[in-house]
Each structure stands twice: as structure tokens, then as C-alpha cells.
Amino acid sequence: MHAQGNDFVILDGFTSALPELPYPILAEQMCRIHTGIGADGLVLLSPCANAAAKMTIYNSDGSLAEMCGSALRCVSFLTHQRTQLSEFIINTDSGQKPVSVCGKTGDVTVNLGTPKLIMKNYIAEGIAGDLIDIGNLHFVVWQSDLNSNPHLQFGNALEHHAGFPRSVNAHFAKVLSPGEIDIKIWERACGATLACGTGAASVVFSGISKGMLSSPIKVNMPGGSVCISEESGAYLLSGQVRQVFCGEYQWKA
């Protein structure tokens, strides 16, 4: 499945129980473009006692991801198809996330919670930006022009910057109006991606805190657009997802 081009291989533990496997190795091999399926990450969807489902995410390099708004919307849509519920809870490694699915439009809305500003106007690799925690870390840089693809120039260095508590996602953003922005994305352990849900919310949070934006905001990413709205401090991410294929993958560790 993909959400604005942010794509994932999803193993559905409701269809059959997920076996004990070295999932970091499986993720790395499945996510390879030429010798695997090709994806930004591997997602495990499994039953959960205190929520509609549990989501676990491995990045394309096999590392465990804390959260992912795009993957959350994908598994929420699958859960909606199975249960016909329009509102429910998904468990993630960064806590429980309320979600809703509109049956008429197909839009999936996930509540990402309240972001936290960790560092404001922090200089990393000679670039000033805001470090934001929304279940995972994002470094947000505002620029007047994104045509030079700054995420490709500086993304890797920012991801591994020594001054951050752990590796980060890096985003370069441009204001079009108080209600619309463009962003370009460098995701931790994945590199340049077409979309990032938690990144979109983090960029909007930074823009609102600086007085440049007002909710709701249309966020244009290379793979498509989503809507971010702020309600009582919580940030809601809305957009559509697509199922590309389903099938079997032949693999041996």
C-alpha cells in the first residue's frame, strides 16, 4: 500500500498468524528495489487486546521505526475494511492513536497527538531549524526556494547530526500561503521519500508556532497532498491511501 507515494509492504496478521521471523532481515530484503518488492518499510499488522489492531514498523534498512503517519493510515484503512468501524484505536510503538475512516470519500484521518518542540532555531550542519518530537524526531528547515532539492544535499548529514539525541527525519519547507505549504523529505533510514505523515504534521506545528500558518493546512509533498489540522493541541493528518497489490513473497533467511 502507499499513502502519497510513501509505500509499505504490510503483513496481515489477521489473515493468518505472523510467524516468528528475523523481521529486521526480512524488512531489508523485501524493501530492496531490484531484488525484493521495493518499499519504504515493512509493517506488521496484528490483533491486539486493547485496540482494534497493533502496528509495528521496520524501516527499509531493517531498523525499528517509532511511528509513521503514512503507515498508520494504511493499516487503519485495512482495519476499517475488515471491521466496518469508522472510528477506532490502533496501537503503535509510540502509543495508542485514534483514527477515523470516511466510507464515502475514503479519507483516513489519524490523531498524531501533540508535538513537542525540542530545539528551536537550532544550527545543525550550518542550517537553522526546529527539532520536533511527534513520536519520532523531525528537523524542520524553512526556505524560500526548494528547487535545489536541499533534502538531497543535506538530508543524510542532518539525519546523523551528532547534536541530536538520535537520528532524525529532515524536512525542507516553503510557505505558499497561511493555509498551504510545500515540503521535501528525507526520512531516517530510508532517504528521500515521496511523503511523510508525521513529517507533514511536524512541519505544520513548526509553522504555526512561528505564526506563519493557520489550521487547516494543505501540505504538498512530492507524492501528493494531505491536510493537517490542529484541534485542542492535537494534530490530525488526513488523506487517502491506495492498495497496490497483494500476494505471496518467497523468502528464506
Write the pLDDT tens digit of every residue in 124-159: 999 999 999 999 999 999 999 999 999 999 999 999
User: Span 58-81, mean pLDDT?
Assistant: 97
Cα–Cα dist 94/146, whole Å = 31
Catalytic residue, from 31, 74, 196, 227: name it.
196
pLDDT tops 80 at residue 66? yes
Q: Which amino acid is at 127?
A: I
Q: Are 182 and 203 in contact (CB under 8 A)?
A: no
User: Mean pLDDT across the stretch 80-107?
Assistant: 96
pLDDT given at position 253: 62
- In the chain, what are the domains? 2-104 (3.10.310.10), 116-238 (3.10.310.10)
Catalytic, out of 31, 68, 190, 227: 68
Please say if 102 is a catalytic residue.
no
pLDDT tens digits, 210-238: 999 999 999 999 999 999 999 999 999 99
Residues 6+ apart with CB under 8 A from 135: 66, 67, 92, 94, 95, 112, 113, 198
CB atoms within 10 A of CB 90: 22
Among 15-19, 95-99, 175-179, 225-229, where is mean pLDDT lowest? 15-19
pLDDT at 252: 80
Indicate the angle between helix axes 197-209 and 69-83, nearest 10 degrees.
Answer: 120
8 Å CB contact between 149 and 184: yes
For 101, the grid coordinates are 475512516
Confidence of residue 4 (pLDDT cuts 50, 70, 90): very high
Mean pLDDT, range 42-49, rounded to an integer: 96
pLDDT, one tens digit per residue, over 101-129 is 998 999 999 999 999 999 999 999 999 99
* Residue 251 pLDDT class (50, 70, 90 cuts): confident
Q: Catalytic site residue 196? A: yes
Per-chain mean pLDDT for the chain = 97
Average pLDDT over residues 70-85: 96
